[in-house]
Each structure stands twice: as structure tokens, then as C-alpha cells.
Amino acid sequence: MIPAVVLGLIFHDTIKSLFNPINVMYALVVGGVLLIAAELLKPKTRVRKVWMT
């Protein structure tokens, strides 16, 4: 397993070039859409009976 530090040093320029405002904007929009979709697609839980004790 390659440590993260080694990968960071190898791909430093590539990773740095990804952090421009346009790419960050797209990542935030896609992440927001995925969060909304996950919230809408989760199964709804229903309570059938409530017992008072």
C-alpha cells in the first residue's frame, strides 16, 4: 500500500490544477444534487401503531 504522502508528492501538480473555481463549483453542484436525490429516494418509515404505557 502506497502512503498518501507519496501519492501527494507524485500527483501534486495534477491535484493542484483541479482546485480552480469552475471545478469546485461543479463538484458542489453535483454533491448537492446527490444529497437531494438520496433524501428523496430513501424509503419512508411509517408507524402503524402507537402504544401508550
**pLDDT one-digit tens code per residue, 20-52:** 999 999 999 999 999 999 999 988 888 788 777
Residue 51 maps to a domain: no
> What is the model's pTM?
0.60
Q: Domain count for the chain, please give it.
A: 1
Residue 49 maps to a domain: no
CA triplet 11, 6, 19: central angle to 5 degrees? 30
Q: What is the pLDDT of residue 1?
A: 65
Q: Which domain holds residue 14?
A: 4-41
- Backbone phi and psi for residue 38, each to the nearest 5 degrees, phi listed first: -65, -35
| CA 42/CA 35 separation, integer angstroms | 11
Q: What is the pLDDT of residue 25?
A: 97
Rg (CA), the chain: 21
Residue 48 maps to a domain: no
Residue 22 maps to a domain: yes
The overall average pLDDT reported for the chain is 90
Residue 8 maps to a domain: yes
pLDDT in tens, 2-18: 799 999 899 999 989 98
